[in-house]
Amino acid sequence: MAILVDRETRVLIQGITGRSGVQVTSELLDYGTKVVAGVTPGKGGQEIDTVPVFNSVSEAIKTVGEVDVAMVYVPPLSAHAAAMEAIEAKIALVHIFVEKMPVFDVCQVLSLAVKNQVRVLGPASVGAISPGEGKIGSIGGPAPDNVFSKGPIGVISRSGGMCSELGLLITNSGFGQSTVVGIGGDLIVGTTFSDLLIEFEQDRDTKAVVAFGEVGGSSEIEVARLIEEGKFTKPFIIFLAGKFAEKLPRDTSLGHAGAIVGMESTMAQKIKALRDAGAIVAENFEEIPDLIKKAVG
């Protein structure tokens, strides 16, 4: 099993005729993901790599049937309209690859998503991959089999690059991944660490979860609370990057919009809360494989 995406997942790509849309379509089809439709207003009737293009989401669904995921691959200022259209169609998962989406637009999208019981992954999310099953987004690039392998370890990270680094580290250690998810590095994102841990808890093939945490935000504190409440009971291993940042001036931004020094909890508070809850905090990135072995045997 896996979460978010498997071999039966049916995908629609908004912005499929753009450069990024064309590229990701090819990658997904090569991996075996079922890309059943694309949408670009005014370009209906075309085909991209055998995938039919429609003028609207509703037109696409009417023709090809229900879809499980809408992937938003449009320019930042067009992302609001595209995401809202997919949410109004009540597609269960809307993945927003777009970076630099205006914060107010994100808030409106997430508000409508809650009302329509739609999950949003992103913005600025590299996507998710269930090795050997399927993927959404650009995670792993055109050759994901060089990085990811099927196995029992769930992986979560804000950073798309660290999704691949963790995947390769776990693969090389002899373990594989059930699903790897990049939640996105923007200040506000739709799907959190805690949301995914609840999904991984229900996945019988996931034996443990590894996460890449960062300075700023409160995701790790929420995870500690989730573990304390008994809502996630599997081994949770996390490496927190950016300890050096505690010495930097408050409000210094590091890479991701959500990684801001002094924002929410301090690194020390995060580590204490996680350890008190029973999470396994890695001192060094390279020790993660050993911690996995101790946790799951």
Spell out the domain ranges in the chain.
Answer: 10-296
Catalytic residue among 113, 256, 270, 292: 256
Q: What is the pLDDT of residue 183?
A: 97
CA–CA distances in Å: residue 167 to residues 71, 150, 195, 198, 297: 22, 10, 20, 21, 19
Q: What is the pLDDT of residue 258?
A: 52
The count of other CB atoms within 10 Å of the CB of residue 6 is 15
Do 125 and 192 touch, CB atoms closer than 8 A?
no
Closest CA to 288 of 179, 140, 175: 175
Q: What is the pLDDT of residue 243?
A: 64
Name the β-bridge partners of 209. 154, 236
Do 88 and 116 touch, CB atoms closer than 8 A?
yes
CATH 3.40.50.720 is right for the domain spanning 10-296: no
pLDDT tens column, 72-130:
999 999 999 999 999 999 999 999 999 999 999 999 999 999 999 999 999 999 999 99
Average pLDDT over residues 250-278: 71
* pTM for the full predicted model: 0.93
Q: Is 256 a catalytic residue?
A: yes
Average pLDDT over residues 151-160: 96
The count of other CB atoms within 10 Å of the CB of residue 89 is 19
30, two tokens: 């090569």
The count of other CB atoms within 10 Å of the CB of residue 210 is 28
Query: What distance in Å separates the CA atoms of residue 221 and residue 297, rounded to the nearest whole number?
Result: 27
217: left (phi over 0), alpha (psi -120 to 50) or beta: left
